[in-house]
Amino acid sequence: MSDDAGEISQAELAEYCRTQAAILAGHLDQRSAELSDLLEEIEQDTADARATLSESSGRPEPDAEAAVENIEAKQKRAQAKQDVIDEYRTLAEGYTDLAEQLTEGSGDLETVLEFEIDTDAPTYFDAETTILGVATGEDK
């Protein structure tokens, strides 16, 4: 790292953390909308499968079995999406907490770097740059 990296003020670091949290919030909104759409699909598919089963003679037909498999696959995708949302939410909350800590005069550049290392923060950002990415030369 260069010598001028130490010249970053706590206020600038706090603003950086708030910006990162806001970027993550945008990702959360997008992923939450995708999850909502997928859950609506699952609900509709389930209703369609129930209607098909009630219309049949009570014996599961191959089409009904395929529908159940399709629903189960979508449920797994939905759970995976929820897990990612939870990870983004946790990281955003961490950045928000860190910004507050910095605003209150506690913490420094090293604190932010440790947070980003511990959370593997750079993996959650697309084209955005993290302090860790700059420090390690891995910014995108």
- Please indicate, yes or no, if residue 116 is contained in any of the structural domains: yes
Q: Per the domain annotation, does 41 fall within a domain?
A: yes
In a domain, 2, yes or no: no
How far apart (Å, rounded) are the C-alpha atoms in residues 39 and 34?
A: 9
Q: Give the Cα-Cα-Cα angle 115, 90, 93 (nearest 5 degrees).
A: 75
SS3 31: helix
44-57 confidence digits (pLDDT tens): 999 988 888 777 76
Range of the domain at 77: 10-136
Q: In this predicted structure, what is the pLDDT of residue 1?
A: 37
Q: What is the 3-state secondary structure (H, E, C) of 104-131?
A: CCCCCHHHHHHHHHHHCHHHHCCCCCCH
Give per-residue pLDDT as tens, 74-120.
999 999 999 999 999 999 999 999 999 999 999 999 999 999 999 99
Does some domain include residue 87? yes
| Inside any domain, residue 34 | yes
Contact 82, 35 (CB under 8 A): yes
pLDDT mean over 34-53:
92
pTM: 0.80
Check residue 124 and give its pLDDT.
92
On whether residue 88 sits in a domain, the answer given is yes
User: Which residues have a Cβ under 8 Å from the Cβ of 41 and sit 6 or more positions away?
Assistant: 74
Asked if residue 1 is part of any domain, the answer here is: no
Q: Is 94 among the domain residues? A: yes
- Say whether pLDDT at 126 is over 90: no
Other residues' Cβ atoms within 10 Å of the Cβ of residue 32: 15
Confidence of residue 133 (pLDDT cuts 50, 70, 90): confident
Domains of the chain: total: 1
